[in-house]
Structure 1
Amino acid sequence: MQLPALFNLPKSTLQIYGEQVYSTSTDLLSKCNKVAWYISTKRPTIFGVVPYNPILGETHHVSKGNLNVLLEQVSHHPPVTALHATDEKENIEIICCQYHIAKFYGATVEGHIHGKRRLKLHNHGETYEMNSPDFSIRFLPVPGNNWVGNVNIKCLETGLVAELSFTMQSFLGFRGNRRAVKGKIIDSSSRKILCEINGHWDSTVAVKNTINGEERVILDAREVISGLQTPIVKDSKSVWPTESAIVWGQVNQAIMNKEWEKAVKAKKFVEERQREILRERASKGETWVPKHFSLSHTKEGDWDCFPVQKLVPPSPIVS
């Protein structure tokens, strides 16, 4: 949704998606705790403000330790975002292709998030496919937002499946089920329940072994996001001109300085320039091609993407 700069976070949606992968103080990926890592990617958001809609070809490239993360806006209609993250030391790879469709339901807006997400643990010969819950924004009677819906995380090689359910608070705003997540881990071949999962994704989540009754905390969200710092630029000359912070730099600065008129003009300049480029491309009969991904449209009507490079290179921006 296009909104005035007053209602924008000084960030692009690409940065928000990327932060879900690299912005943690606890390395859950190298611990191979797949369910805990997935739940940790769901973060609380500020009600009433939204990030910018990325322009076509915009990128976000950040390194955190051995983990290198690259995102690119590979389509504008629909707005498809591709993500590739690799950790060469741990031999871990993440590939995501997602797009959202907003639907209005009177007092609420729901962003239905589509696309494929794959987590590959090459050392273990395991590939995990997963979907995303929807994002719900409620205006009445109690304003708020939350992740809602059902998620499946399936290992293609072992047949183990985690079935998660994200629930929102009641209509009147009572906190009983606020940001709750529950679910189970099952063996898909026998349908036997191996573990039960219960908690709140913004605090703690525990898993209980149904065989021996042992229960342990697999995620402490406060620990995961504590002590986080803003990414820094180590080599400004190596930052790509398509980087989100470059594309939206003047808008970001104006918003942080609360210079709203300047922010509106800067945002309009970015958006008008993008429209101008699209018109020029159309007049020449040119088709835009992503630089870092190849994009395909599946028979099921979904979108999928494939990285051009095997490994994401280190970034001049580090977290």
Structure 2
Amino acid sequence: MGSPEKNENKGFFSSVSSGLSILSNAMHRSVNGLLGYEGVEVINPEGGKDDAEEEAQRGRWKKEDRESYWKMMHKYIGSDVTSMVTLPVIIFEPMTMLQKMAELMEYSYLLDRADECEDPYMRLVYTSSWAISVYFAFQRTWKPFNPILGETYEMVNHGGITFLAEQVSHHPPMSAGHAENEHFTYDVTSKLKTKFLGNSVDVYPVGRTRVTLKRDGVVLDLVPPPTKVNNLIFGRTWVDSPGEMIMTNLTTGDKVVLYFQPCGWFGAGRYEVDGYVYNSAEEPKILMTGKWNESMSYQPCDLDGEPLPNTELQEVWHLADVPQNDKFQYTYFAHKINSFDTAPRKLLASDSRLRSDRYALEMGDLSKAGAEKSSLEERQRAEKRTREAEGHNFTPRWFDLTEEVTPTPWGDLEIYKYNGKYTEHRVAIDSSGSSDDVDVKSIEFNPWQYGNQGTN
């Protein structure tokens, strides 16, 4: 929905607002006293579970692993654990955070349609639906690997898009990304901030996302809602993203405000998204409604937010078919992201696909994945020691740190800008006509700039 202060007498959605205050408190089942753990709260998204202990024993953890992990983690309650804790591979998926950033490109055809569209309000319908479409993938309960400093991810062969992401900072963890086709450019600086709450973690997207539609040069800014991961250790892990998503047309002042409803008692409201497209005078023009795990629809409305006569809801996006019973809850597009079929010719040695820990986990070898993860982390520490001993600062290769610092709802953010060098690099490779290409799968992972790790 639109901003609460603007929703008085808005008609179509005003009756919904009273139900939005039903928060997940009603479905909490504390296991304090039952299991002997302090700070643990098990939340069942379906509600109605009277046996808290039985619910707490569910999930992916073995009892002994769960108790051991809790002993290690409980001291971090209230802390930002983004990069301060070494986590077991049992909770990981075979993908890095850079690859997860690329999942936003699955339904990029919506940005193509926005660029082709002349109606300024429908542009926001298309672009906000694009922003919502990734939340089905974001509900996965597995953690992606933290990228090594200097790590990259490249993707081609999807909708004419070239996508590149690079890990530009280790402390704090920050990534930068750029994607482009004939219709749009996409630029993001991402810095996640977390708060560990015992059996859950709040994730705050301290980032800036900008989309430029090429035909008219329209620039769009996206502010997503925060995310909460419930039942990390005890119970079945699940994800919710309650709050507002705001996309603003910085060129015209128009905006769309969409409200992600919190999961209520017995799952009421879970997945539901409602809101309006407003003009620059903050008057509602189009209502939007749907579920972030299914589809989104729109309908023209009057100044009170009521649907216009002789109009009906029109679907703008729906979820593509997904694999059944996939081990990591992957979509078909997520599998494409991991595939070398989406890799360009002469893949960068710093690419996430080449990580030995990621590949071992994909092959189902948790023991090797854990050992390789520890090895990569130690090599990263060694590179840092070498770099600091030689008096060097890490410098990203494909993105430049600007002097711009932008405020976000969760803190200030330093902005990295795509420097265009990757485009030049890729043009040089594609125009070389060289026939000495090596099998990309045989390339050794190497994101390091200094020391005996070598260079890219």
Structures share fold, TM-score greater than 0.5: yes
Q: Alignment partner of 2:298: what SS?
A: strand
> Any unmatched runs of 5+ in structure 2?
1-81, 115-125, 303-307, 324-330, 431-439, 441-456
1:1-319, aligned counterparts within 5 Å? 1=82, 2-21=86-105, 23-24=106-107, 27-32=109-114, 33-45=126-138, 48-63=141-156, 64-87=158-181, 89-90=182-183, 92-139=184-231, 143-170=237-264, 172=265, 174-188=266-280, 190-211=281-302, 212-213=308-309, 214=311, 215-222=313-320, 228=333, 230-231=336-337, 232-233=339-340, 238-246=346-354, 248=355, 250-296=356-402, 298=405, 300=407, 301-309=412-420, 312=423, 313=426
Cα distance in structure 2, aligned partners of 1:153 and 1:10: 31
Cα distance in structure 2, aligned partners of 1:68 and 1:306: 16
- AA at the equivalent of 2:127: K
Conserved 8 A contact 2:258-2:273: yes
Cα distance in structure 1, aligned partners of 2:134 and 2:193: 20
Conserved 8 A contact 2:221-2:248: yes
Deviates more, 1:294-303 or 1:203-212: 294-303
Cα distance in structure 2, aligned partners of 1:46 and 1:184: 24
Note the aligned Cα RMSD (angstroms).
2.6
Cα distance in structure 2, aligned partners of 1:47 and 1:123: 35
Deviates more, 1:28-37 or 1:233-242: 233-242
What is the number of equivalent residue pairs in this alignment?
308
Decide whether aligned partners of structure 1 residues 96 and 46 sit closer, same or farther in structure 2, where only a CA change above 3 A counts: closer
Deviates more, 1:159-168 or 1:215-224: 215-224
Deviates more, 1:307-316 or 1:154-163: 307-316
Cα distance in structure 2, aligned partners of 1:223 and 1:255: 25
Query: Deviation at 1:131?
Result: 1.4
Query: Deviation at 1:107?
Result: 4.0
Query: Deviation at 1:184?
Result: 0.9
Decide whether aligned partners of structure 1 residues 30 and 133 sit closer, same or farther in structure 2, where only a CA change above 3 A counts: same
Decide whether aligned partners of structure 1 residues 196 and 308 sit closer, same or farther in structure 2, where only a CA change above 3 A counts: same
Cα distance in structure 2, aligned partners of 1:129 and 1:67: 20
Deviates more, 1:137-146 or 1:260-269: 137-146
Q: Alignment partner of 2:370: what SS?
A: helix
Decide whether aligned partners of structure 1 residues 217 and 238 sit closer, same or farther in structure 2, where only a CA change above 3 A counts: same
Cα distance in structure 2, aligned partners of 1:275 and 1:186: 49
Query: Deviation at 1:258?
Result: 2.8
Conserved 8 A contact 2:246-2:255: yes
- Normalised by the size of structure 1, how large is the TM-score? 0.87
- AA at the equivalent of 2:226: D
Decide whether aligned partners of structure 1 residues 253 and 244 sit closer, same or farther in structure 2, where only a CA change above 3 A counts: closer
Q: Which residue of structure 1 aligns with residue 435 of structure 2?
A: none
Cα distance in structure 1, aligned partners of 2:381 and 2:194: 22
Query: Deviation at 1:179?
Result: 1.6
Decide whether aligned partners of structure 1 residues 12 and 136 sit closer, same or farther in structure 2, where only a CA change above 3 A counts: same
Identity of aligned residues (%): 23
Query: Deviation at 1:35?
Result: 1.7
Conserved 8 A contact 2:398-2:422: no
Deviates more, 1:257-266 or 1:293-302: 293-302
Cα distance in structure 2, aligned partners of 1:269 and 1:197: 48
Conserved 8 A contact 2:154-2:344: no
Conserved 8 A contact 2:254-2:282: no
Q: Alignment partner of 2:135: what SS?
A: coil
Decide whether aligned partners of structure 1 residues 124 and 133 sit closer, same or farther in structure 2, where only a CA change above 3 A counts: same
Which has the greater radius of gyration? 2
- AA at the equivalent of 1:277: E
Query: Deviation at 1:125?
Result: 2.3
Decide whether aligned partners of structure 1 residues 236 and 14 sit closer, same or farther in structure 2, where only a CA change above 3 A counts: closer
Q: Alignment partner of 1:298: what SS?
A: strand
Which has more strand, going by share of residues?
1
Q: What are the superposed Cα offsets for residues 185-209 of structure 1, whole Å, 9 maximum, x if unpaired?
A: 1113x22111111111110211121
Cα distance in structure 1, aligned partners of 2:87 and 2:260: 28
Conserved 8 A contact 1:202-1:222: no
Q: Alignment partner of 1:202: what SS?
A: coil
Query: Deviation at 1:310?
Result: 7.7
Cα distance in structure 1, aligned partners of 2:140 and 2:186: 29
Q: Which residue of structure 1 aligns with residue 34 of structure 2?
A: none
- AA at the equivalent of 2:251: E
Query: Deviation at 1:254?
Result: 2.2
